[in-house]
Amino acid sequence: MSGTRSYTPAAGHHFLTPFYDIGVRLSTRETLWRAALIELIAPKDSDVLLDIGAGTGNLAILLAQKNHATRYFGIDPDGPAIAIARKKASAANLAAEFLQAHFSAKVVAAWPAPSVATLCLVLHQVPLDEKLRLLREIHSVLQPGGRLYVADYAEQKTWLMRKLFRVTIQNLDGRADTQPNADGALPLLMSDAGFSDVHESRQFDTVTGSISILCGMKQPTPD
């Protein structure tokens, strides 16, 4: 269960959760960046994917379309969002597993260690210390050689993107949690959390600001 800890719901307010999917589709060029993310992940049969802040399960559906054999585990503290995710997965006949909880290494201990972890549109909605905690704990649960993909509003590099981000996402989710992303903190936080080869793979300009796909790796254990 989610307990008493707070979090920002997927669409900024609980009453907007049923409209989250349509909102993301219309405001983020979702089809493009999610397809690019799946291409980068290139899921193999043997991969175990952990989706932190799984929301309404959109990644689970796309992942299964790309490779039905990849095992998917999603975690999110938001009950209504997880209920939508479970419904979609069941309609699509997926074996995806969802857990309603704030992510920590401890709460996912019963699941197999992931070879791939994803954080999509989560980090811009959490405080700076929570961004680093999430990244550190993801690093601790990943298999050696495992990969992390962050798809989120990261550095807003142009005047137009900064302006659009300010009037849309920062209005909805508040300035305190979102500004470090816009200032380019995410790659530094990923490196601080222990990830190597941190880089921005793609960036998509949208009407709500630019969305980046950032990649990092947990060092393989030496032979």
Ligand X SMILES: C[S@@+](CC[C@H](N)C(=O)[O-])C[C@H]1O[C@@H](n2cnc3c(N)ncnc32)[C@H](O)[C@@H]1O
Per-residue buried b or exposed e for 98-124, using 16+ beta carbons within 10 Å of the residue's own CB: bbbbbbeeeebeeeeebbbbbbbbbbb
Q: Helix 30-41 and helix 20-27: axis angle, to 10°?
A: 90
- Residue 154 beta carbon to ligand X: minimum distance, rounded to whole angstroms: 14
Judged by CB under 6 A, the residue of 47, 76, 137, 155 near ligand X is 76
- What does the DSSP assignment read for 180-218? HHHTTHHHHHHHHTT-EEEEEEEEEEEBTEEEEEEEEEP
Residue 138 or 196 having the CB closest to ligand X: 138
Residue 147 or 222 having the CB closest to ligand X: 147
Residue 46 or 77 having the CB closest to ligand X: 77
User: Residue 7: which of 87, 81, 61 has the closest Cα?
Assistant: 81
Residue 52 or 185 having the CB closest to ligand X: 52
Site membership for ligand X, residue 102 (CB under 6 A): yes
Judged by CB under 6 A, the residue of 43, 77, 187, 216 near ligand X is 77
Q: Helix 128-141 and helix 185-192: axis angle, to 10°?
A: 40
Three-class SS state of 75: strand
- Residue 48 beta carbon to ligand X: minimum distance, rounded to whole angstroms: 17
For the segment 114-153, give every residue that binds ligand X (CB under 6 A).
Answer: 120-122, 125-126
Separation of alpha carbons 55 and 11, rounded Å: 10
For the segment 165-194, give every residue that binds ligand X (CB under 6 A).
Answer: none
Site membership for ligand X, residue 210 (CB under 6 A): no
Three-class SS state of 73: strand
Residues 6+ apart with CB under 8 A from 48: 70, 71, 73, 111, 112, 113, 114, 115, 116, 143
- Residue 185 beta carbon to ligand X: minimum distance, rounded to whole angstroms: 17
For the segment 36-55, give every residue that binds ligand X (CB under 6 A).
Answer: 52-55
Judged by CB under 6 A, the residue of 81, 89, 138, 186 near ligand X is 81
For the segment 12-31, give every residue that binds ligand X (CB under 6 A).
Answer: 24
Residue nearest to ligand X (CB): 55
Residues that bind ligand X (CB under 6 A): 7, 9-10, 24, 52-55, 58, 75-78, 81, 102-103, 120-122, 125-126
